[in-house]
Amino acid sequence: MAAFESLYKLFEPRLYAFALHLSRQKVDAEEIVQEVFLKVWERRHLLDADQNFDGYLFSIARNLVYNKARRRVYEFAFTQYVAATGEHAGCFTEETVAYRDLVKLLEETYATLPPIRRQVFVMSRVEGKSNSEIARLLNTSNSNIENHLNKALKSIKERFKGYEIAYMFFLAYLPEAAASLPFPALCA
């Protein structure tokens, strides 16, 4: 237990700064740090002493940030879909099913994108980074970033046939929505 506390004290400030940089929200960054250490504690018996522990921690944090951002996108896309179709935003079975279908479609769409393309898309549309900022962070050219985004958007557009309202929102408003809006509680 003392070793775990020492690890927490050693890595918590850097993990918090990293999570805050990615999520841009203090509350999210604090939750992510807690979740990282919870995962480490739960998997403590599986840890390899030869493994790069820093890299392991920061990979968990990065994935948690992306998962949290993805969840917000799903929730916001659903609220926009409900608002645009004139449905009431209550807890109705039909809305819950539509939300779950939309979430499933988005998850499937993300899963089909190659890892780099998915990372570029998330940095652009979820985190709101500019193409030049992404190119600098990934050490590549602006044209390469634009190419990845175009291909990602083409894939998403193809997958979203029949969900035109959610798709239009997804492409047009995602950076502002994911970064600035609180999301209402939805039916579970």
Reduced 3-state DSSP string for 21-66:
HHHCCHHHHHHHHHHHHHHHHHCHHHCCCCCCHHHHHHHHHHHHHH
Alpha-carbon distance of 11 to 15, in angstroms, equals 6
- Residue 186 belongs to some domain of the structure: no
Q: How many independent structural domains does the chain possess?
A: 1
Q: Based on C-alpha coordinates, what's the Rg of the chain? A: 18
Any domain includes 47: yes
Residue 11 belongs to a domain with what CATH number?
1.20.140
pLDDT recorded at residue 66: 85
Per-10-residue mean pLDDT of the chain, 188 residues long, equals 85 92 88 91 83 88 85 76 61 63 74 87 78 90 92 80 54 42 34
Q: Looking at residue 144, what is its pLDDT?
A: 94
Q: pTM for the whole thing?
A: 0.47
Residue 185 resides in a domain: no
Predicted confidence at residue 176, as pLDDT, reads 42
Range of the domain at 95: 2-180
Geometric angle at alpha carbon 16, from 188 and 58, rounded to 5°: 85
- Residue 187 resides in a domain: no
The answer as to whether 148 is a domain residue is: yes
Instruction: Give the model's pLDDT for residue 36.
Output: 92
